Amino acid sequence: MGSSDVRLVPARPEHVDFWMVLRSEPGARRFVDTEDDSREQLLKRIAEAGTWGDTRAKGFRWFVEYDGRLIGTVSARDISRTHGRAQLGYMLSDAYHGRGLGTRAVGMMLEQLFTLPFLQRLWLTTLAENLASQSVARKLGFTQEGTMRGHCMFLGQRRDQQLWGLLRPEWEARRRG
């Protein structure tokens, strides 16, 4: 799926080498509490990502293409049909930061996810220093709902994380503009 020059491509095993490089970039990793996964673990995560249309999928991952090049990845995980919610993640290669591409890619993922009728809430977390990620969330209509104290380990320290949420009616109201 995609619009103009940005496309979201469902994760495939051949994306793993790009994903390894992306995850090793200092800028992409700067504010991310992600684990140090091996190539095999990343391949497992790609294999476990749901195929669109799979009604039991617990998560989806897409790679972001811009002008035909891979520039990042966006994902939804811990999808709960019972509670109608999913958690989002996103990461773009350093060279493409600050051009509005993150907002576009995550916005495209929201469009896709909200076609799932059961989905009522999307949420994500940010570190206080991660102004770019907060800006992406805010621009897409997320509300900062609170602070989760000591929620993650980051660079060897326990850190707070901000909690952001977006409800379906808020998303629909924004789309109606």
Ligand X SMILES: CC(C)(COP(=O)(O)OP(=O)(O)OC[C@H]1O[C@@H](n2cnc3c(N)ncnc32)[C@H](O)[C@@H]1OP(=O)(O)O)[C@@H](O)C(=O)NCCC(=O)NCCS
Q: How far is CA 174 from the centre of its chain?
A: 20
Q: Scanning the structure block, which residue is given the tokens 């576009």?
A: 104
Nearest residue to ligand X by CB is: 102
What's the one-letter identity of residue 11?
A
State the pairing for strand pair 6-10/121-126. unpaired
Minimum CB distance to ligand X, residue 82 (Å): 25
Q: Which of 76, 101, 119, 140 binds ligand X (CB under 6 A)?
A: 101
> Using CB under 6 A, which of 98, 117, 156, 177 touches ligand X?
98
Q: How many residues bind ligand X (CB under 6 A)?
A: 20
Residues between 104 and 163 that touch ligand X (CB under 6 A): 126, 130-133, 135-136
Q: What residues pair up with 6 in beta bridges, in sequence order?
A: 3, 66
Stretch that binds ligand X, among 49-57, 75-83, 96-104, 148-156 (CB under 6 A): 96-104
Cβ closest to ligand X, residue 46 vs residue 134:
134
Task: Return the CA Rg of the chain.
Answer: 16
* HSE-CB of 13 using CA atoms within 13 angstroms: 4
Q: Which of 65, 71, 62 is nearest to 98 (CA)?
A: 71
Chain residues 27-86 in contact with ligand X, contact rule CB under 6 A: 28, 31-32
Judged by CB under 6 A, does residue 92 bind ligand X? yes
Between 20 and 131, whose beta carbon lies closer to ligand X?
Answer: 131
Q: Is 100 in the site for ligand X (CB under 6 A)?
A: yes
Distance of CA 11 to the CA centre of its chain: 13
| 148: three-class secondary structure by DSSP | strand
Are the C-beta atoms of residues 41 and 100 closer than 8 Å to each other?
no
* Residue closer to ligand X, measured from CB, 164 or 171: 164
- Nearer to ligand X by Cβ, of 50 and 102: the residue is 102
| Residues binding ligand X (CB under 6 A) | 28, 31-32, 90-92, 97-103, 126, 130-133, 135-136
